[in-house]
Structure 1
Amino acid sequence: MKQKAPLYLFLLLIVVSPMGIDIYLPALPQMANNLQTPMANIQTTITLFLAALGLGQLLAGPLADRYGRRPLILSGLLLYILGSAVASLAMQIEILWLARVLQGLGTCAVSVGVMSGVRDSYSAKKTANIYSYINGVICVIPALAPMLGGWLSETWDWRATFYFMAGYALLITLIALLRLPETRPANTISSPKLINWKQYQPILQSQTFRFNTGLVMLAMAIIIAFVSIAPVRLMVELDLDPGTFSLWFGSNAIINILGSFTAPLIIRRLGQARALKLAISMCTIAAASILLLQDVESPIAFMGPVFIASTGFCLTLAICCGAALAPFSERAGTAASLLGFFQMAGASMLIGILNFLPIGSLQLMALFMSLPLIWYAMNRRKPNYEACEN
């Protein structure tokens, strides 16, 4: 018989995901110097983490249904601890890459287990509020973790950030062993095959799903690109110290928090179709602004356009995630895992490819900010958002 898991434990568990990215960002230049490798190789550690997080969803979902949420979460935590330990001992960039893949796969297992556990433990009405709390935690961590990471890397060195990740995950593992019940319902259906490609066909054939998922992926690419480019622009090119970088980086997390809370109000006032146009317009304005201000040697010249694009990002996710899943009430889990795959792995792979373009960091950031407009213009048949709302 399934049991209800405590909310505080879900919130503690979900922290491993944003922490795996944000806490070590202030140490990126130090890592490049210590490992004697180009900054681009260090930035790749972010892309690999997110790619593993996205790709792993195709497997983690079926595993959660077949074996249960608790085994998946505990296995993910152990994998995350292993990856953190390997990263802290890495003397070569290739070992660090491997460690980040392990961390990403572990994070994926924990995240899927948490999302499934929330669905199992709470009513449909309560679930919406729980997911809001989880998203709030995910947005808060980028505001706090870089400051902690900057202090750790300045007081000791970059390896201390991975020690902290391993220590936190170990503590949460001990709490989970004592307090995390199995929440999987007895009537859960699992496919004989862990990955059955035929179950994805009807979803991928939906123009509504493709259009909205494409926008979710491109909006996420803006945020991932910011996470990757910000240390280079602010600490290398503008010579900010790790502490000041953390304050600027954290300020965008605050913008995301405000954007997440105000997005429903904007959508209610404008409707989904007009609100989406506003979101894409904001990303486009941000792209133009960052190019116009590229010769201004000031953090605000970079972060100002990022603030605008981040607000557009919050609106896009609020509209398009629900619209992408709306036609698939009978297979919402499969559709959600596919959406998550494109959102994380697709965005990461896109960034990995475009990073090879021979352009500067600001031009690259502007390119990512302009992609939602290009995708919107390419799709002449737009979904009926009023129908999605009903």
Structure 2
Amino acid sequence: MWPYKPKTTVIILAPLIFSFALALDVYMPVLPEMRRMFHTSQSAIQLTISVFFLICGFGQLILGPLSDQYGRLKVVWASAFLFIIGSALCSMSKTIDIFLIFRALEALGAAGLSVSAFAIVRDTYDGKDSALIYSYLNGMLAFSPILGPLIGVALITHYPWYSAFYFLTVLAISTALIILVWGKESLSIANRKAFNWSVFYRYFLIGKSLTFWSFTLPAIAGISSFFALFSMTPYIVEELGLPKTTIMYAFGAAGLSFMIGSFVSGSLTQKLGVFKTTVVGTFLILLSGIILIIVYQLTGLTLVGFFGPCVIATFGCALTSGAGASGALEPFGEFPGAASAMFGALQLGGSSIIGSISSLFVLNSSYPLAFTMIIMSLFSLLIIFFKSRANIKTIS
């Protein structure tokens, strides 16, 4: 069984979800180059991001329950293999259609790695301890927007676009080696549940929970804002006529804010609790969207005017993601794999859909990103209000 203390757990599990993050962040600087090399449109290139998010999200609905039946370690191994093969084949793609197929395979591997990591935490810890670990995992993930674009810009400066996928292949192999040496099973045989069609009934039960939605929707608000920001950044930089290295600094600022927010989230959760921490994060995302519109109206599109307010949003996203995962999964100890899968599916798959809608607009202003933040945070606050009302009625 899982023998490690919380800090060691974070170090071992971080590469599993780090692979997912770097598969996005290393790849972002090469988007304009891919558009030219594949002779395709901006919307087709954006689809490669959406497909990754969508498959990585909703793939967890199957992979999570499979890990409930066969254990976390077997799913991690299978997922690492898919990630390695998918990344390698992406680098060899000659057309955008073929690339999309292999990108989906890579995403399925990333989905299994991510859902298994969160399920291992849920198997082993609960309450504030789990919230603390989730926050630290998110903090480790925050290195990706700092490190990923740096690697991506360096690769695209000296090598063709597909060198990014050579890097991801090596990363996936390294992750598999870490699991080979330190990976342990966290789910006992006695607690395993056979995979059958009843899993969809479990999703139905989870979906009926107002508690689940009051934590999941704010997490979606945060990640969809991240999705829109990262999707837009290469085009905003191009619109402003700035060098590619600007992408690195912009992602780095967002990642640093997310990292600080993730570590603050751990201590903030200890003091305020999971629910209040989620509310604070949601308000920060809303505030960022409002500031984006005000600044754009006053100064037009500028580097500081666009990315400055986003630092507030990414800090809030760290709060809603860390506390949201803990709060959403806490009531479902009987089937943590299914709960983790549904949370991940909605967080990533929902963000993919929302981010794709925002990307349909011309990416030369702050409006698509600002409206994504405002609309999603307002929906989140609405469901939080209903949750609070339900709690008051229960007490009375």
TM-score range, shorter chain: 0.7 to 0.9
2-structure distance, mates of 1:259, 1:198: 35
Aligned residues: 386
Task: Say what the alpha-carbon RMSD is for the aligned residues.
Answer: 3.0
Q: Is the contact made by 1:276 and 1:319 (CA closer than 8 Å) also made in structure 2?
A: yes
Q: What's 1:325 paired with?
A: 329
1-structure distance, mates of 2:129, 2:309: 36
**What is the letter of the counterpart of residue 28 of structure 1?**
L
1:367 aligns with one of 371, 385, 394 = 371
* Deviation of 1:339 (Å): 1.6
Q: What's 2:16 paired with?
A: 13
Q: Which stretch shows the higher mean deviation, 285-294 or 262-271?
A: 262-271
Does residue 159 (structure 1) correspond to residue 173 (structure 2)? The answer is no
Q: What's 2:26 paired with?
A: 23
Q: What's 1:204 paired with?
A: 207
Q: What's 1:313 paired with?
A: 317
Q: Following TM superposition, where does structure 1 have runs of at least 4 consecutive aligned residues deviating by more than 4 angstroms?
A: 5-8, 118-130, 264-278, 357-361, 376-380, 384-387
1-structure distance, mates of 2:363, 2:27: 25
Give a deviation string over 1:6-32, Cα, whole Å, max 9, x none. Answer: 744433333211111101111111111
Q: TM-score, normalised by structure 2?
A: 0.86
Q: What's 1:97 paired with?
A: 100
* Deviation of 1:81 (Å): 1.3
* Deviation of 1:329 (Å): 4.0
2-structure distance, mates of 1:33, 1:120: 46
2-structure distance, mates of 1:382, 1:211: 7
**What is the letter of the counterpart of residue 210 of structure 1?**
W
Does residue 50 (structure 1) correspond to residue 53 (structure 2)? The answer is yes
1-structure distance, mates of 2:350, 2:133: 27
Q: Which runs of 5+ in 2 are unaligned?
A: none
**What is the letter of the counterpart of residue 55 of structure 1?**
F
Q: Report 1:178-327 matches (<5 A).
A: 178-193=181-196, 196-234=199-237, 236-266=238-268, 278-294=280-296, 295-327=299-331
* Deviation of 1:114 (Å): 2.6
2:347 aligns with one of 336, 343, 346 = 343
Give the direction of change, closer, same or farther, for the CA distance of 1:199–1:252 in structure 2 (3 Å limit).
same
* Deviation of 1:50 (Å): 1.1
Give the direction of change, closer, same or farther, for the CA distance of 1:377–1:24 in structure 2 (3 Å limit).
closer
Q: TM-score, normalised by structure 1?
A: 0.87
* Deviation of 1:260 (Å): 1.7
Q: Which runs of 5+ in 1 are unaligned?
A: none
1:88 aligns with one of 91, 96, 118 = 91
Q: Report 1:122-161 matches (<5 A).
A: 130-161=133-164
Does residue 172 (structure 1) correspond to residue 154 (structure 2)? The answer is no
2-structure distance, mates of 1:320, 1:10: 19
Q: What's 2:74 paired with?
A: 71
Q: Which stretch shows the higher mean deviation, 266-275 or 366-375?
A: 266-275
Give a deviation string over 1:143-184, Cα, whole Å, max 9, x none. Answer: 111101110111112111100111221233344345534443
Give a deviation string over 1:198-223, Cα, whole Å, max 9, x none. Answer: 12222222223233322221222111
* Deviation of 1:276 (Å): 5.1
Give the direction of change, closer, same or farther, for the CA distance of 1:93–1:195 in structure 2 (3 Å limit).
farther
Give a deviation string over 1:327-384, Cα, whole Å, max 9, x none. Answer: 4344444333222211111111222234335785521101101123431464452336
2-structure distance, mates of 1:168, 1:358: 34
Q: Which stretch shows the higher mean deviation, 275-284 or 37-46?
A: 275-284
Taking every aligned residue pair, what percent have the same amino acid on both sides? 28
Q: Is the contact made by 1:219 and 1:313 (CA closer than 8 Å) also made in structure 2?
A: yes
* Deviation of 1:192 (Å): 4.3
Give the direction of change, closer, same or farther, for the CA distance of 1:301–1:128 in structure 2 (3 Å limit).
closer
Does residue 34 (structure 1) correspond to residue 51 (structure 2)? The answer is no
1-structure distance, mates of 2:293, 2:139: 31
**What is the letter of the counterpart of residue 382 of structure 1?**
K
Give the direction of change, closer, same or farther, for the CA distance of 1:41–1:361 in structure 2 (3 Å limit).
farther
Q: Which stretch shows the higher mean deviation, 286-295 or 43-52?
A: 286-295
Give the direction of change, closer, same or farther, for the CA distance of 1:313–1:117 in structure 2 (3 Å limit).
closer
2-structure distance, mates of 1:323, 1:384: 17
* Deviation of 1:35 (Å): 1.2
Q: Which stretch shows the higher mean deviation, 63-72 or 292-301?
A: 292-301
